[in-house]
Structure 1
Amino acid sequence: MLLTDIAMLMLCGSIAGFLAGLLGIGGGMILVPFMILVFNHLNFDQSVIVHMAIATGMATILFTTTSAIWAHHKHGSIDWKLVAAFSPGLVAGSLIGGSEIFEALNTSWLSLFFAIFIVYTSIQMILNKKPGVGRELPGKLGLFSFGAFAGCLSSLVGAGGAFITVPFMLWCNVKPHVAMASSSGLGFPIAAAATIGYMYGSWDYPNLPAGSLGFVYVPAVACIVAVSIFTAPLGAKMARKLNVAQLKRIFGVMLFFLAAFMFNESRKAFGF
């Protein structure tokens, strides 16, 4: 990689880490459009660029969520029994989504799916809508089933899962601060299983550049993590001082521009 590529990845990593701590998101999806630009600049094969961007972004979540987990754990905010109950399903779904389904999707459909997901996330950010309280958490089978669905979906878009696990926990009458903190704990098994799935499912995939472990581009992970692990705690600290609801709306508008970029990538992949 050139120095400009390293600088762009580190800059994006610092921003993604800060926003991850500030807004409680994994940060992986923020990186995807920028990594596509870098990977294009590095002349990676077009058939693997989107897959590599999503897989590499998910791999970085392993490190950003670790720092977030530690911060929440120190305050006793994480319900570890809840994390343990969700994790088997999350791991199973993430492994299946990251290895079987992810590789089967071609670049055009994966780009379109990711763009639609960003639009959905941006609308959630702008509205900042809190789901109504419904009932208690389901039993082991229900938690496993929902966890498998959440893990599979998260692995397809390179997200830590908070976009779906937090609303579900709130709907099941889990206290908001516990749901937000526990989502960090849930993000780790999702990221770990999905990353393993990405690497396993694409280990012998053709046209991968040097420095790749399957779809995960290790040099990019190193550049991003080198800064994101320091900016994530700063974002978490800043969240206590700022109007996060207003920031979510601003960030939601920014996501629309990222969605437009991904829709354009999908258009080019489809040949329109």
Structure 2
Amino acid sequence: MTSLADAHLLTLVPPLIAAALVAGFLAGLFGIGGGAIYVPVLYQTFEGLGIPHAVTMHLAIGSSIAIIVPTSLRSLMAHWKKGAVDRKLLKEWVVAVPLGAVAGALVAAAASSGELRAIFAVLAFLLGLKLILGRITFMLGTDLPGLAGRSIAGFAIGVLSALMGIGGGVLNNTFMTLYGRPMIQAVATSAGVGALISVPGLLAYIVGGWGEAGLPPVSLGYVSVLAVLLVAPVSILVVPLGASLAHRLTRRQLELGFGCFLLIVAARFAYSLI
């Protein structure tokens, strides 16, 4: 069983590395952890390995969160050096966002595979639609809401991100720009949000899946160590390239491409529920 799984994993090395390159670049460019790319790719990988269907989606999300840890930290460091991060907001979110991430991970652990795929499909569709429509022209205010409002927003971003296995970049970018913050500051700050989500989310997915039946070899709860060790290092290498480009170029074409990708992923997961 173990040797068969390892053999299947080796045949999927090329697509996983390709996804790692794209996700790492997007982590720096959009301030996201790449989970929206990792989750569907890992889901298909685990399904192809013959891992029980009941845990493949949990594994994909948990492993994605684990991969996001180093990419988010590397992206945060790259943007921090450029002085674009809203450090005050990150300090205020140091409790709310991690609490939301843990809550989301615990909900995911208790949910079925079908429920998780439905949640991912709906959220991926909404995020993809938002990216295709482009930057929101209206604003809810000229500055961020008060501490209570910011805390609620941070908690919600943490919950939704942990349920999807993403770093929260698109969600935070939307929140900050709706309140008049410059896009480049939102992108840079999102890298920090990804770090606040991924670290506690990782621990929660490990605990939530500990001892679960049907997990593949070399797993810690709902985290496949083999997949993480393969994908994470490649992603880290290209994060600074994305962060550098974010400060110099328009992202419209990449937004359209990423938005279309999310819509395709949403349709794929929706179809799997039929």
* TM over 0.5, shorter chain: yes
Selected match of 1:111 from 117, 125, 139: 117
- Give distance in 1, aligned partners of 2:177 and 2:121: 26
Unpaired stretches in structure 2, ≥5 consecutive residues: 1-5
Instruction: Look up the equivalent residue of 1:157 and give its one-letter code.
Output: M
Compare 169-178 and 179-188 and name the one that shifted more. 169-178
Return the alpha-carbon distance in structure 1 between the equivalents of residues 131 and 31 of structure 2.
Answer: 11
Counterpart for residue 171 of structure 2: 164
Distance 1:85 1:222, change over 3 A: same
| 1:182 aligned onto 2:182 | no
Distance in 1, Cα, partners of 2:250 & 2:152:
35
* CA deviation after TM superposition for structure 1 residue 84, in Å: 0.8
> Contact 1:97–1:156 at 8 Å: present in 2 too?
yes
Mapping of residues 1-272 of structure 1, within 5 Å: 1-2=6-7, 3-99=10-106, 101-133=107-139, 134-240=141-247, 242-267=249-274
Using the alignment, how far apart are the partners of 2:245 and 2:171 within structure 1?
A: 24
In the alignment, the residues of structure 1 paired with residue 26 and residue 179 of structure 2 have an alpha-carbon distance, to the nearest angstrom, of 27
Structure 1 position 241, deviation (Å) = 5.3
Helix, strand or coil at the partner of 1:48: helix
**What root-mean-square deviation, in Å, do the aligned CA atoms of Structure 1 and Structure 2 show?**
1.7
The answer as to whether partners of 1:83 and 1:182 remain within 8 angstroms in 2 is yes
TM-score, length of structure 2 as denominator length: 0.90
**CA, structure 1 residues 232+67, in 2 after alignment: closer, same or farther (shift >3 Å)?**
same
Structure 1 residues 160, 86: CA separation in 2 closer, same or farther (over 3 Å shift)?
same
Change (3 A) 1:258 1:130: same
Contact 1:131 1:170 (8 Å CA) reproduced: no
- What is the aligned residue count? 266
Matched-pair contact (CA < 8 Å) for 1:109–1:266: no
User: Do 1:13 and 1:227's aligned partners in 2 also have CA atoms closer than 8 Å?
Assistant: yes
In the alignment, the residues of structure 1 paired with residue 181 and residue 254 of structure 2 have an alpha-carbon distance, to the nearest angstrom, of: 24
Q: Cα offset for 1:30?
A: 0.7
- In structure 1, list runs of 5 or more residues that go unmatched: 268-272
User: Identity, % of aligned pairs?
Assistant: 34
What CA distance in whole angstroms lies between the structure 2 residues aligned with 1:224 and 1:31? 9
Give the partner amino acid of 1:16: A
Q: Residues 88 and 38 from structure 1, CA distance in 2 versus in 1: closer, same or farther, beyond 3 angstroms? A: same
Query: Are the structure 2 counterparts of residues 143 and 13 from structure 1 closer, same or farther at C-alpha, using a change threshold of 3 Å?
Result: same
Normalised TM-score (structure 1): 0.91
Q: Which moved more, 1:82-91 or 1:171-180?
A: 171-180
Q: Secondary structure at the match of 1:174?
A: coil
2-structure distance, mates of 1:253, 1:165 = 20
The alignment partner of 1:163 has SS state of helix
